[in-house]
Amino acid sequence: MAASVGRQCLRLLRGIEPWRSSLLHCENTAVSHFLQSLRKLPVRGFYTNARRVHTAPARTLSLLRPLPVLLVTGGGYAGYRQYEKYRERELEKLGLEIPPKLAGHWEVALYKSVPTRLLSRAWGRLNQVELPHWLRRPVYSLYIWTFGVNMKEAAVEDLHHYRNLSEFFRRKLKPQARPVCGLHSVISPSDGKILNFGQVKNCEVEQVKGVTYSLESFLGPRTSTDDLPFPPATPCGSFRNQLVTREGNELYHCVIYLAPGDYHCFHSPTDWTVSHRRHFPGSLMSVNPGMARWIKELFCHNERVVLTGDWKHGFFSLTAVGATNVGSIRIYFDRDLHTNSPRYSKGSYNDFSFVTHTNKEGIPMRKGEHLGEFNLGSTIVLIFEAPKDFNFKLKAGQKIRFGEALGSL
């Protein structure tokens, strides 16, 4: 078996060489064309006090033709990246673990410089534009074909019913399409793909295997406000200890990625009480599994809404993480929440307490109850306290649907 795996790995690695040679040939060809265009430029000379200088008229700069050079080199790089992804998938099929290649600080900074918040606001406005009746079926059919949407589960299957893209994204399901599991204490709040799950150790949470983010950076700094579920502290261990309120309990997490074709609403994963909301305006980078493997602390960079409270075993939180073209995060019982708004700046956060003088507990949520929605696809992160014998009923990478079991005691 080991010899067979070794031979397949060697074939994969040997396959890189001819591909790399063709890439180098394309680059060399582009460079040679560039140099030949330089030689064809008419030049003129003039003298300075130091030496003779040769220049080309400005009107001849168009002969340089940089577009073919950019297309060849850019296309070659994109092709190389696609081949790298293909090779990684093949090695994963053979059971070989591939260490993640993390983006550098300059790459993250360059990505964050893209005006994704502005683009997402523009996309949101485009989604609100009412489509002509005759255009609805071809537009929605293209989306259904591209992302594999199952319209048989939709409460309204007629595509002409949805006036705009926003209504189509937020379509409701038939009541029997997602039965809620009553045997397990925690269910999936949404459709999606399990990126990671397990115990939180050393105040670091895995967004995917091998790539982590800080628990305190994700949930935000603690304050001395009495109505917050976590009191102030500074050391990392103390932060985790303040979340774990009962002796013998551990802190667990689960990350669910919602693809564009998934059902976009999310529900309460258990019976709990929401006491506080914290909104982090931030970037709106893509959160697909490939990006989660590439950018460390991706979820801490992005805009997110953190709901915290308590369930029967202690601390419980659900965080809705925004993404590119998913700046709109809606919580049904929170009318004061406005995400991807220009009035909020990156790096800040704003708090809201649901505990008042007239409501001493907060917002009670029943398992499976409607909680909120995205406008395209994004990520849900659960972080909660539970006894040590809590067990997840999951496998990393598996597809899951709202109402199915995440874990139980």
Catalytic residue numbers, as ranges: 191, 267, 378
In angstroms, the CA 229 to CA 234 distance is: 16
Query: Angle CA(395)–CA(246)–CA(314) in degrees, nearest 5?
Result: 60
DSSP sequence for 322-336: PBTTB--EEETT-TT
Using alpha carbons, list the distances in angstroms from residue 119 to 284, 301, 375, 377. Answer: 9, 17, 14, 16
Using alpha carbons, list the distances in angstroms from residue 277 to 135, 203, 280, 309. Answer: 40, 21, 10, 9
User: Around Cβ 405, how many Cβ atoms within 10 Å?
Assistant: 18
What φ, ψ does residue 129 adopt, rounded to 5°? -70, 125
Q: Could you tell me the two tokens for 322?
A: 């925004």
β-strand pairing of 399-400 with 379-387: unpaired
Q: Tokens 């060489």 — which residue?
A: 17
- Strands annotated E in 147-237: 186-187, 192-199, 204-208, 211-214
**Residue 351 near residue 228, CB atoms below 8 Å:** yes
